[in-house]
Amino acid sequence: MKIFVSIGDPNGIGLEIALRSHSGVKDWGEIIYGVDERVLFEASQRLGIEVPQDMECDPLGLESPIAPGVISKEAGRYSFESFKKGVERAKKGEVQAIVTLPVHKKAWSLAGIPYAGHTEALREMMGEEAIMMMGKEGFFIALYTDHLPLSEVPQRVHERGVEGFLRRLSHALPAMKACGVLGLNPHAGDQGVLGKEEEGIKRAIERANQALGRELFFGPLVPDVAFIPSWRAKFDHYVAMYHDQGLIALKILYFEESINLSLGLPFVRTSVDHGTAFDIAYRGGNPSLLSYQNAIKMALKLGSDKR
């Protein structure tokens, strides 16, 4: 199986992760890196890591001198073009999965790239309502809204939208066993005293379950207790209404090992669940490789299921 790795922001931690991980992942599948050899060589020189001879590169034909920890439009453009090449190859069927290393949203903005992140770009490129989901085996959180200002979230939380989201999620994850759906408001609205959005969420859960012919979705759950151990034992998946509602708990519990997935696409896309780490990039910070390795493993698993 072929996996395309987009290398992320060259001024960040992505190239170090790719170089340090290659010997451990190269036998899992055919790994192709979206990077020019001269950029990879510069990173290796800065890090004191030899470029493996069997590291297969798909060059972009771009210049991006490495400036560790610097937000720049050149690095933003390079990381986007690496990602775009992976998408193009996946659309042609040349690779079965894309694994993305971290980009910097401000660098993308400086480069004139009109997306807040990979998932938003995939939605437009593919014309699909891709779902952002993060987690690890046995504990995944899908985000009903993702990179959206908190002030705009309540107007997006309504019965029709939530129902459609739940149906798409169940279609993308046929093996999902039980999914807890969080409410939006404190105490899940306290029967309308603290907000009315939960009424729509409840109806959406009922309609989605009815369409599925089984009880898959449960809630709306009270958000501040939804992730305590006794509740986590009931569900293998959750739906959070907004980004930080779900991801604070995830990153407290499983920061180093969790991954990011884009669901609802004709190909697999996984990612590390951390940022560019400009504070330690090229500074001997000895980054954890676990999230990247797990992203590769999940890409292989899901890619095999699609074949």
What pLDDT, on the 0 to 100 scale, is given for residue 172? 93
24-39 pLDDT, tens per residue? 999 999 999 999 999 9
Beta pairing class for 139-143 and 131-136: antiparallel
Give yes or no on whether 1-130+265-307 and 131-255 have one common fold.
yes
What pLDDT, on the 0 to 100 scale, is given for residue 127? 93
241-287 pLDDT, tens per residue? 999 999 999 999 999 999 999 999 999 999 999 999 999 999 987 88
Torsion angles phi and psi, residue 98, rounded to 5: -120, 135
Task: Give the confidence band of 65 by pLDDT, cuts at 50, 70, 90.
Answer: confident
- pTM here is 0.90
Q: Give binding residues for substrate as ranges.
A: 118-119, 251, 260, 269
Q: Give binding residues for a divalent metal cation as ranges.
A: 147, 187, 243
What pLDDT, on the 0 to 100 scale, is given for residue 287? 87
Other C-beta atoms within 10 Å of 134: how many?
23
Q: Which CATH number does the domain 1-130+265-307 belong to among 3.40.718.10, 3.65.10.10, 3.40.710.10, 3.40.630.30?
A: 3.40.718.10
Name the CA dihedral angle for 222, 228, 234, 240, rounded to a multiple of 10 degrees. 50
Alpha helix locations (H) across the chain?
A: 14-25, 37-47, 73-91, 105-110, 118-126, 153-156, 159-172, 197-212, 229-232, 243-254, 290-306
Q: What percent of the chain has pLDDT over 70?
A: 99
Torsion angles phi and psi, residue 279, rounded to 5: -70, -20
What pLDDT, on the 0 to 100 scale, is given for residue 307? 58
Task: Give the confidence band of 64 by pLDDT, cuts at 50, 70, 90.
Answer: confident
For residues 214-225, average pLDDT: 98
d(CA 36, CA 303): 26
Q: Give binding residues as ranges.
A: 118-119, 147, 187, 243, 251, 260, 269
Beta pairing class for 259-263 and 131-136: antiparallel
162-200 pLDDT, tens per residue? 999 999 999 999 999 999 999 999 999 998 999 999 999
CA-closest candidate to residue 241, choices 154, 113, 172: 154
Does the pLDDT at position 306 exceed 80?
Answer: no
What pLDDT, on the 0 to 100 scale, is given for residue 73? 95
- Amino acid in the structure at residue 230: S
The number of CA neighbours under 13 Å toward the Cβ of 29 is 24
**Domain ranges for the chain:** 1-130+265-307, 131-255
Does the pLDDT at position 305 exceed 90?
Answer: no
CA-closest candidate to residue 101, choices 25, 158, 152: 25
The secondary structure of 156-216, three-state, reads HCCHHHHHHHHHHHHHHCCCCCCEEEECCCHHHHCCCCCCCHHHHHHHHHHHHHHHHCCCC
Q: Which CATH number does the domain 131-255 belong to among 3.40.630.30, 3.40.718.10, 3.30.565.10, 3.40.50.300?
A: 3.40.718.10
d(CA 153, CA 245): 11
105-154 pLDDT, tens per residue? 999 999 999 998 999 999 999 999 999 999 999 999 999 999 899 999 99
Which residues, in sequence order, are bridge partners of residue 131? 263
Does the pLDDT at position 95 exceed 90?
Answer: yes
Dihedral sign for Cα 138, 143, 146, 151, please. Answer: negative
d(CA 82, CA 85): 5
Does the pLDDT at position 2 exceed 70?
Answer: yes
285-304 pLDDT, tens per residue? 788 999 999 999 999 998 77
Q: What angle, rounded to 10 degrees, do the helices at 73-91 and 118-126 form?
A: 40
Reduce the DSSP state of residue 260 to 3 states and report it: strand
Q: Are 5 and 101 in contact (CB under 8 A)?
A: yes
What pLDDT, on the 0 to 100 scale, is given for residue 286? 81
